[in-house]
Amino acid sequence: MRTLKIAFLSLFAAGILWACDNPEYVSRNEYEQLLQEYAQLQEAAEATRAQYAEQAAAVDQILRELSQISGRTISLRADMEHGAGELTQVQQIEESIADIKQQLARLDELSRQTGELQKLVTSLRAVVAQKDQEIEALKAEITLRDATIDEQHRTINEQSGKIEDQSQVITRQQENLQALLAEQAQVLFQAGVDFENLGDNTPDMHGGRDKRNQKAYRKEMYEKALYYYSQAQQAGYQGASFRMGKVQEKINEL
């Protein structure tokens, strides 16, 4: 909203400055004052574009780290299926989640004047909270396993139904693994949607340089959207291919 306002004022100021070339409109002092105001508006527009770029880079970094956490969580679940999986793996994931929380706190400071980005921050916080719950559940499962493994070894020959129980556990873990893969695909697809929206909502700028910067920024956002849609497609997300085609059309139209 702030960028749109700056763009509008820049256009308005440019119109006034054009009129100022005719001495019948304003005095020389007013003309110079308007020139100064226009320069300030241009500076504010540059600062806003830089802020958008900083926000986009921060979001991109968080999404990449979330994707890495999902991959490491999948590996941990796979290890647990084979009786492995250590608390050190959980601790590493917890440290990564804590780092993302700090990044979100910084991003929250940047997003207070941008409604769409604030929604994205809220969405990312929800994903991180879900990761917290998931890793806590895995941690409890590993702790319990470590506490009971000796007893299981002593009683395994007496538990005739143990094989069936283990089969059910593996089935549940495989179901959880599939659910986690689906969740990762959803996160990747949503990242594509968010970057596509950033590209769509790039404010209109005036002037040759501004238009080139706007076009480059919009293309960068669409290319990021295309990347995450392709990742979501590889993860099996239905609908990602359709969005890839739409984003490619937008890139071709630039």
Instruction: Give 35-86 pLDDT, tens digit per residue.
Output: 666 566 665 555 566 667 777 788 888 888 888 888 888 888 888 888 777 8
Per the structure, the count of domains in the chain is 1
Q: What crossing angle do the helices spanning 115-155 and 87-110 adopt, rounded to 10°?
A: 170
Model confidence, pTM: 0.45
Output the CA–CA distances (angstroms, integers) from residue 165 to 90, 91, 98, 161, in the order listed.
25, 28, 35, 6
Task: Label residue 244 by pLDDT band (50, 70, 90).
Answer: very high
Rounded CA gap, 215 and 205, in Å?
Answer: 10
Q: Are 228 and 185 in contact (CB under 8 A)?
A: no
Residue 121: CA atoms inside 13 Å, Cβ hemisphere, count? 21
For 145, the domain range is 2-253
What are φ and ψ of residue 175, in 5° steps? Answer: -65, -40
Give the model confidence (pLDDT) of 137-166 as tens digits.
Answer: 888 888 888 887 777 777 777 776 667 767
